[in-house]
Structure 1
Amino acid sequence: MTQQVRRERILGAAIDCLAVSGWHGTTLAAIAQEAGISRGLISYHFAGRDDLYSAVLESVATEVFAAGSAEMQPDIDAATTAEGKLRAYITGNLRFIAAHRREMAALNELMPNLRTPEGKPRFGSEAEEPIIAGTALLFEYGVSTGEFRQGDSRFLALALRRCMDGAAVRIVADETFDVEGYGASLEQLFLDGVRV
Protein backbone atom coordinates (compact mmCIF):
# COMPACT_ATOMS: atom_id res chain seq x y z
CA MET A 1 0.00 0.00 0.00
CA THR A 2 1.46 3.38 -1.00
CA GLN A 3 1.85 6.17 1.53
CA GLN A 4 -0.82 8.30 -0.17
CA VAL A 5 -3.32 5.43 -0.22
CA ARG A 6 -2.64 4.73 3.46
CA ARG A 7 -3.03 8.41 4.32
CA GLU A 8 -6.38 8.53 2.49
CA ARG A 9 -7.46 5.37 4.29
CA ILE A 10 -6.65 6.97 7.65
CA LEU A 11 -8.60 10.11 6.72
CA GLY A 12 -11.57 8.01 5.66
CA ALA A 13 -11.46 5.99 8.87
CA ALA A 14 -11.33 9.20 10.92
CA ILE A 15 -14.41 10.51 9.09
CA ASP A 16 -16.25 7.25 9.75
CA CYS A 17 -15.33 7.26 13.43
CA LEU A 18 -16.29 10.90 13.91
CA ALA A 19 -19.60 10.33 12.13
CA VAL A 20 -20.45 7.34 14.35
CA SER A 21 -18.77 8.05 17.69
CA GLY A 22 -18.44 11.83 17.74
CA TRP A 23 -15.59 14.03 18.90
CA HIS A 24 -15.28 12.56 22.38
CA GLY A 25 -15.77 8.97 21.32
CA THR A 26 -13.17 8.95 18.57
CA THR A 27 -9.64 7.91 19.50
CA LEU A 28 -6.52 7.24 17.45
CA ALA A 29 -6.83 3.58 18.43
CA ALA A 30 -10.39 3.46 17.07
CA ILE A 31 -9.29 5.17 13.84
CA ALA A 32 -6.42 2.70 13.44
CA GLN A 33 -8.78 -0.22 13.96
CA GLU A 34 -11.27 1.20 11.45
CA ALA A 35 -8.45 1.70 8.93
CA GLY A 36 -7.06 -1.79 9.55
CA ILE A 37 -3.61 -0.50 10.46
CA SER A 38 -1.50 -0.11 13.58
CA ARG A 39 -1.79 3.05 15.62
CA GLY A 40 1.91 3.69 14.97
CA LEU A 41 1.20 4.14 11.26
CA ILE A 42 -1.09 7.06 12.08
CA SER A 43 1.84 8.70 13.88
CA TYR A 44 3.98 8.16 10.79
CA HIS A 45 1.53 10.19 8.66
CA PHE A 46 0.25 12.71 11.20
CA ALA A 47 1.91 14.55 14.10
CA GLY A 48 -0.99 13.75 16.42
CA ARG A 49 -4.73 13.91 16.83
CA ASP A 50 -4.99 17.65 16.07
CA ASP A 51 -2.88 17.27 12.94
CA LEU A 52 -5.04 14.37 11.76
CA TYR A 53 -8.28 16.22 12.52
CA SER A 54 -7.00 19.35 10.78
CA ALA A 55 -6.28 17.24 7.69
CA VAL A 56 -9.74 15.68 7.91
CA LEU A 57 -11.37 19.11 8.24
CA GLU A 58 -9.41 20.48 5.29
CA SER A 59 -10.09 17.42 3.16
CA VAL A 60 -13.81 17.20 3.91
CA ALA A 61 -14.45 20.94 3.80
CA THR A 62 -12.61 21.31 0.50
CA GLU A 63 -14.26 18.26 -1.05
CA VAL A 64 -17.73 18.93 0.29
CA PHE A 65 -17.85 22.64 -0.42
CA ALA A 66 -16.28 22.29 -3.87
CA ALA A 67 -18.47 19.34 -4.82
CA GLY A 68 -21.57 21.01 -3.41
CA SER A 69 -20.94 24.18 -5.36
CA ALA A 70 -20.25 22.27 -8.58
CA GLU A 71 -23.41 20.19 -8.14
CA MET A 72 -25.72 23.11 -7.35
CA GLN A 73 -24.40 25.78 -9.69
CA PRO A 74 -25.93 24.47 -12.96
CA ASP A 75 -29.46 24.58 -11.49
CA ILE A 76 -28.88 28.05 -10.05
CA ASP A 77 -27.51 29.28 -13.38
CA ALA A 78 -30.39 27.70 -15.32
CA ALA A 79 -33.02 29.55 -13.27
CA THR A 80 -34.16 32.68 -15.09
CA THR A 81 -35.49 34.61 -12.07
CA ALA A 82 -34.04 35.59 -8.72
CA GLU A 83 -36.79 33.59 -7.02
CA GLY A 84 -35.87 30.54 -9.10
CA LYS A 85 -32.20 30.96 -8.28
CA LEU A 86 -32.93 31.23 -4.54
CA ARG A 87 -35.15 28.14 -4.67
CA ALA A 88 -32.45 26.21 -6.57
CA TYR A 89 -29.84 27.28 -4.02
CA ILE A 90 -31.91 26.14 -1.04
CA THR A 91 -33.07 22.88 -2.63
CA GLY A 92 -29.60 22.06 -3.95
CA ASN A 93 -27.94 22.69 -0.59
CA LEU A 94 -30.36 20.53 1.35
CA ARG A 95 -30.24 17.66 -1.14
CA PHE A 96 -26.46 17.75 -1.13
CA ILE A 97 -26.36 17.66 2.67
CA ALA A 98 -28.75 14.70 2.71
CA ALA A 99 -26.61 12.84 0.16
CA HIS A 100 -23.42 13.41 2.21
CA ARG A 101 -24.52 12.60 5.76
CA ARG A 102 -21.23 10.91 6.69
CA GLU A 103 -19.11 13.91 5.74
CA MET A 104 -21.58 16.35 7.30
CA ALA A 105 -21.56 14.36 10.54
CA ALA A 106 -17.76 14.62 10.64
CA LEU A 107 -17.89 18.36 9.94
CA ASN A 108 -20.51 18.83 12.66
CA GLU A 109 -18.06 17.28 15.12
CA LEU A 110 -14.89 18.97 13.90
CA MET A 111 -15.96 22.54 13.24
CA PRO A 112 -16.97 23.53 16.78
CA ASN A 113 -14.30 21.43 18.51
CA LEU A 114 -11.07 21.73 16.55
CA ARG A 115 -9.09 24.71 17.85
CA THR A 116 -5.89 26.57 17.08
CA PRO A 117 -3.15 26.65 19.76
CA GLU A 118 -4.63 30.03 20.78
CA GLY A 119 -8.02 28.43 21.42
CA LYS A 120 -9.81 29.89 18.39
CA PRO A 121 -11.90 27.71 16.06
CA ARG A 122 -9.85 26.35 13.14
CA PHE A 123 -12.79 26.95 10.83
CA GLY A 124 -13.88 30.41 11.88
CA SER A 125 -15.94 33.17 10.35
CA GLU A 126 -13.19 34.19 7.92
CA ALA A 127 -13.25 30.73 6.33
CA GLU A 128 -17.00 31.03 5.86
CA GLU A 129 -16.75 34.44 4.21
CA PRO A 130 -16.73 33.21 0.58
CA ILE A 131 -19.92 31.22 1.23
CA ILE A 132 -21.66 34.21 2.82
CA ALA A 133 -20.53 36.54 0.05
CA GLY A 134 -21.73 34.14 -2.65
CA THR A 135 -25.10 33.70 -0.97
CA ALA A 136 -25.48 37.47 -0.59
CA LEU A 137 -25.16 37.80 -4.37
CA LEU A 138 -28.43 35.89 -4.77
CA PHE A 139 -30.28 38.51 -2.76
CA GLU A 140 -28.49 41.37 -4.53
CA TYR A 141 -29.44 39.88 -7.88
CA GLY A 142 -33.09 39.87 -6.81
CA VAL A 143 -32.87 43.55 -5.88
CA SER A 144 -31.28 44.35 -9.27
CA THR A 145 -34.12 42.60 -11.15
CA GLY A 146 -36.77 44.30 -9.05
CA GLU A 147 -38.02 40.98 -7.61
CA PHE A 148 -36.65 41.53 -4.10
CA ARG A 149 -36.86 44.62 -1.97
CA GLN A 150 -33.72 46.33 -0.72
CA GLY A 151 -32.26 44.79 2.42
CA ASP A 152 -28.94 43.89 3.96
CA SER A 153 -27.87 41.04 1.71
CA ARG A 154 -25.14 39.91 4.11
CA PHE A 155 -27.56 39.58 7.02
CA LEU A 156 -29.97 37.65 4.81
CA ALA A 157 -27.14 35.41 3.60
CA LEU A 158 -25.96 34.77 7.15
CA ALA A 159 -29.51 33.94 8.30
CA LEU A 160 -29.98 31.54 5.40
CA ARG A 161 -26.63 29.84 6.08
CA ARG A 162 -27.58 29.32 9.74
CA CYS A 163 -30.85 27.73 8.63
CA MET A 164 -28.79 25.40 6.40
CA ASP A 165 -26.38 24.63 9.25
CA GLY A 166 -29.30 23.80 11.53
CA ALA A 167 -30.77 21.54 8.86
CA ALA A 168 -27.43 19.76 8.49
CA VAL A 169 -27.45 18.87 12.18
CA ARG A 170 -31.01 17.51 11.96
CA ILE A 171 -30.42 15.65 8.68
CA VAL A 172 -27.39 13.90 10.17
CA ALA A 173 -29.18 13.03 13.41
CA ASP A 174 -32.51 11.93 11.93
CA GLU A 175 -32.72 9.95 8.71
CA THR A 176 -36.50 10.51 8.66
CA PHE A 177 -36.12 14.30 8.68
CA ASP A 178 -38.30 15.75 5.90
CA VAL A 179 -35.66 17.47 3.79
CA GLU A 180 -38.08 18.45 1.02
CA GLY A 181 -40.63 19.82 3.48
CA TYR A 182 -37.99 21.81 5.32
CA GLY A 183 -36.72 23.18 2.02
CA ALA A 184 -40.19 24.26 0.91
CA SER A 185 -40.79 26.01 4.25
CA LEU A 186 -37.40 27.71 4.10
CA GLU A 187 -38.00 28.91 0.54
CA GLN A 188 -41.38 30.32 1.54
CA LEU A 189 -39.96 32.01 4.63
CA PHE A 190 -37.21 33.82 2.77
CA LEU A 191 -39.23 34.63 -0.34
CA ASP A 192 -42.05 36.10 1.77
CA GLY A 193 -39.43 38.20 3.52
CA VAL A 194 -37.73 39.62 0.43
CA ARG A 195 -40.37 39.86 -2.29
CA VAL A 196 -41.39 43.36 -3.32
Structure 2
Amino acid sequence: TPVNDAPVATNDNAVTDEDTPVTIDVLPNDTDVDGDKLSIQSASVPETQGTVEIVDGKLVFTPAENFHGDAEITYTVTDGALTDQATVNVTVNAVNDTPVVESNIADQTLAEDFTPYSIDLNTAFSDVDNVDGDLTFSVSGNSNIQVAIVNGIATFTPTADWNGSETLTFTATDPSGESVSQTVNFTVAPVADIV
Protein backbone atom coordinates (compact mmCIF):
# COMPACT_ATOMS: atom_id res chain seq x y z
CA THR A 1 0.00 0.00 0.00
CA PRO A 2 1.48 3.37 -0.99
CA VAL A 3 2.23 5.71 1.88
CA ASN A 4 1.80 9.45 1.46
CA ASP A 5 5.11 11.26 1.79
CA ALA A 6 5.30 14.78 3.12
CA PRO A 7 6.08 17.57 0.68
CA VAL A 8 9.47 19.29 0.86
CA ALA A 9 9.40 23.08 1.11
CA THR A 10 12.52 24.94 -0.03
CA ASN A 11 13.56 28.40 1.14
CA ASP A 12 13.16 31.33 -1.23
CA ASN A 13 14.50 34.86 -1.63
CA ALA A 14 12.87 38.03 -2.93
CA VAL A 15 13.71 41.71 -3.26
CA THR A 16 11.51 44.80 -3.15
CA ASP A 17 11.74 48.50 -2.36
CA GLU A 18 10.56 50.20 0.80
CA ASP A 19 6.75 50.73 0.81
CA THR A 20 6.37 48.48 -2.27
CA PRO A 21 4.43 45.16 -2.13
CA VAL A 22 5.95 42.13 -3.87
CA THR A 23 4.33 38.90 -5.12
CA ILE A 24 6.41 35.78 -4.42
CA ASP A 25 5.76 32.46 -6.18
CA VAL A 26 7.15 30.02 -3.61
CA LEU A 27 5.72 26.72 -4.87
CA PRO A 28 7.82 26.02 -8.02
CA ASN A 29 10.85 24.88 -6.00
CA ASP A 30 8.77 22.94 -3.44
CA THR A 31 8.44 19.23 -4.23
CA ASP A 32 6.33 16.19 -3.43
CA VAL A 33 7.70 12.74 -4.27
CA ASP A 34 4.15 11.43 -4.75
CA GLY A 35 3.34 14.12 -7.30
CA ASP A 36 0.56 15.55 -5.12
CA LYS A 37 -0.65 19.04 -5.94
CA LEU A 38 0.83 21.46 -3.43
CA SER A 39 -0.71 24.57 -1.97
CA ILE A 40 0.21 27.16 0.64
CA GLN A 41 -1.61 26.42 3.88
CA SER A 42 -0.47 29.45 5.89
CA ALA A 43 2.12 32.22 6.03
CA SER A 44 3.31 34.71 8.62
CA VAL A 45 5.81 37.52 9.07
CA PRO A 46 6.70 39.63 12.12
CA GLU A 47 4.32 42.60 12.33
CA THR A 48 7.22 45.06 12.53
CA GLN A 49 8.40 43.87 9.11
CA GLY A 50 5.06 43.92 7.28
CA THR A 51 2.12 41.72 6.33
CA VAL A 52 1.77 38.64 4.12
CA GLU A 53 -1.31 37.30 2.33
CA ILE A 54 -1.94 34.24 0.20
CA VAL A 55 -3.35 35.41 -3.15
CA ASP A 56 -3.95 33.01 -6.07
CA GLY A 57 -1.48 30.48 -4.67
CA LYS A 58 1.30 33.01 -4.17
CA LEU A 59 2.53 35.12 -1.28
CA VAL A 60 2.00 38.88 -1.38
CA PHE A 61 4.30 40.65 1.06
CA THR A 62 3.67 44.29 1.93
CA PRO A 63 6.51 45.88 3.93
CA ALA A 64 5.56 47.87 7.03
CA GLU A 65 5.55 51.61 6.38
CA ASN A 66 9.13 52.87 5.94
CA PHE A 67 10.57 49.44 6.87
CA HIS A 68 13.80 48.47 5.15
CA GLY A 69 16.22 45.63 5.77
CA ASP A 70 15.59 41.88 5.82
CA ALA A 71 12.11 40.48 6.41
CA GLU A 72 11.58 36.77 7.08
CA ILE A 73 8.34 35.14 6.00
CA THR A 74 7.54 31.65 7.29
CA TYR A 75 5.13 29.62 5.18
CA THR A 76 3.64 26.13 5.32
CA VAL A 77 3.08 24.04 2.19
CA THR A 78 0.62 21.12 2.15
CA ASP A 79 -0.16 18.19 -0.14
CA GLY A 80 -3.65 18.04 1.33
CA ALA A 81 -2.63 15.88 4.27
CA LEU A 82 0.99 16.44 5.25
CA THR A 83 2.93 19.69 5.48
CA ASP A 84 6.41 21.19 5.49
CA GLN A 85 7.65 24.65 6.38
CA ALA A 86 10.14 27.01 4.75
CA THR A 87 11.13 30.66 4.87
CA VAL A 88 11.34 33.48 2.39
CA ASN A 89 14.01 36.10 3.00
CA VAL A 90 12.85 39.41 1.53
CA THR A 91 15.43 42.15 1.13
CA VAL A 92 13.62 45.49 1.39
CA ASN A 93 15.73 48.26 -0.12
CA ALA A 94 15.67 51.68 1.54
CA VAL A 95 14.08 54.47 -0.49
CA ASN A 96 14.56 58.13 0.37
CA ASP A 97 11.40 59.71 1.76
CA THR A 98 10.56 63.32 1.01
CA PRO A 99 10.37 65.64 4.02
CA VAL A 100 6.83 66.47 5.14
CA VAL A 101 5.07 69.39 6.77
CA GLU A 102 4.77 68.34 10.41
CA SER A 103 2.73 71.36 11.50
CA ASN A 104 1.47 74.38 9.63
CA ILE A 105 2.99 77.71 10.53
CA ALA A 106 0.09 80.07 11.24
CA ASP A 107 -0.28 83.25 9.23
CA GLN A 108 1.42 86.09 11.08
CA THR A 109 -0.15 89.47 11.88
CA LEU A 110 2.33 91.97 13.25
CA ALA A 111 2.61 95.66 14.02
CA GLU A 112 4.96 97.92 12.12
CA ASP A 113 8.47 97.89 13.66
CA PHE A 114 7.60 94.65 15.49
CA THR A 115 10.05 93.20 17.98
CA PRO A 116 12.21 90.51 16.33
CA TYR A 117 11.05 86.97 17.13
CA SER A 118 11.73 83.38 16.07
CA ILE A 119 9.92 80.30 14.76
CA ASP A 120 11.48 76.82 15.02
CA LEU A 121 11.30 75.29 11.54
CA ASN A 122 12.49 71.94 12.96
CA THR A 123 9.02 71.49 14.46
CA ALA A 124 7.25 72.63 11.28
CA PHE A 125 8.94 70.03 9.06
CA SER A 126 10.09 66.45 9.57
CA ASP A 127 11.71 63.63 7.63
CA VAL A 128 11.44 59.98 8.65
CA ASP A 129 14.86 59.27 7.10
CA ASN A 130 16.74 62.06 8.81
CA VAL A 131 17.18 63.39 12.31
CA ASP A 132 16.74 67.05 13.14
CA GLY A 133 19.72 68.94 11.84
CA ASP A 134 19.90 66.98 8.58
CA LEU A 135 17.30 69.18 6.89
CA THR A 136 18.35 72.50 5.41
CA PHE A 137 15.89 75.38 5.32
CA SER A 138 15.39 78.31 2.99
CA VAL A 139 12.90 81.15 2.60
CA SER A 140 11.68 83.11 -0.40
CA GLY A 141 9.14 85.83 -1.09
CA ASN A 142 10.37 88.24 1.56
CA SER A 143 11.51 91.74 0.62
CA ASN A 144 10.75 93.82 3.69
CA ILE A 145 10.58 91.18 6.40
CA GLN A 146 14.15 90.12 7.11
CA VAL A 147 14.63 86.41 7.85
CA ALA A 148 17.77 84.75 9.18
CA ILE A 149 17.75 80.95 9.53
CA VAL A 150 20.34 79.35 11.83
CA ASN A 151 20.10 75.65 12.82
CA GLY A 152 16.46 75.60 11.75
CA ILE A 153 15.49 78.66 13.81
CA ALA A 154 14.01 81.42 11.64
CA THR A 155 14.36 84.88 13.18
CA PHE A 156 12.17 87.66 11.78
CA THR A 157 13.24 91.31 11.86
CA PRO A 158 11.23 94.27 10.51
CA THR A 159 12.28 96.90 8.01
CA ALA A 160 11.91 100.25 9.79
CA ASP A 161 8.59 102.02 9.16
CA TRP A 162 7.43 99.40 6.63
CA ASN A 163 3.91 98.02 6.63
CA GLY A 164 2.05 95.80 4.19
CA SER A 165 1.79 92.12 3.30
CA GLU A 166 4.25 89.52 2.11
CA THR A 167 3.83 85.83 1.38
CA LEU A 168 6.84 83.84 2.54
CA THR A 169 7.58 80.31 1.37
CA PHE A 170 9.64 78.12 3.69
CA THR A 171 11.33 75.06 2.16
CA ALA A 172 12.91 72.07 3.92
CA THR A 173 15.40 70.02 1.87
CA ASP A 174 16.89 66.67 2.85
CA PRO A 175 20.47 65.53 2.06
CA SER A 176 19.20 63.77 -1.10
CA GLY A 177 17.71 66.98 -2.47
CA GLU A 178 14.05 66.09 -1.85
CA SER A 179 12.08 69.04 -0.51
CA VAL A 180 8.71 70.26 0.72
CA SER A 181 7.44 73.80 1.20
CA GLN A 182 4.77 75.67 3.06
CA THR A 183 3.55 79.22 2.56
CA VAL A 184 2.84 81.73 5.32
CA ASN A 185 1.15 85.11 4.93
CA PHE A 186 2.71 87.95 6.90
CA THR A 187 0.69 91.13 7.47
CA VAL A 188 2.40 94.11 9.06
CA ALA A 189 -0.11 96.72 10.22
CA PRO A 190 0.77 100.43 10.21
CA VAL A 191 1.47 102.17 13.49
CA ALA A 192 1.28 105.95 13.78
CA ASP A 193 4.75 107.35 14.26
CA ILE A 194 5.17 109.64 17.25
CA VAL A 195 6.48 112.96 15.99
What TM-score comes out, normalization by structure 1 length?
Answer: 0.23
Question: Higher helix proportion, which one?
Answer: 1
Greater relative contact order: 1 or 2 (C-alpha under 8 angstroms, separation 6 or more)? 1
What TM-score comes out, normalization by structure 2 length?
Answer: 0.23
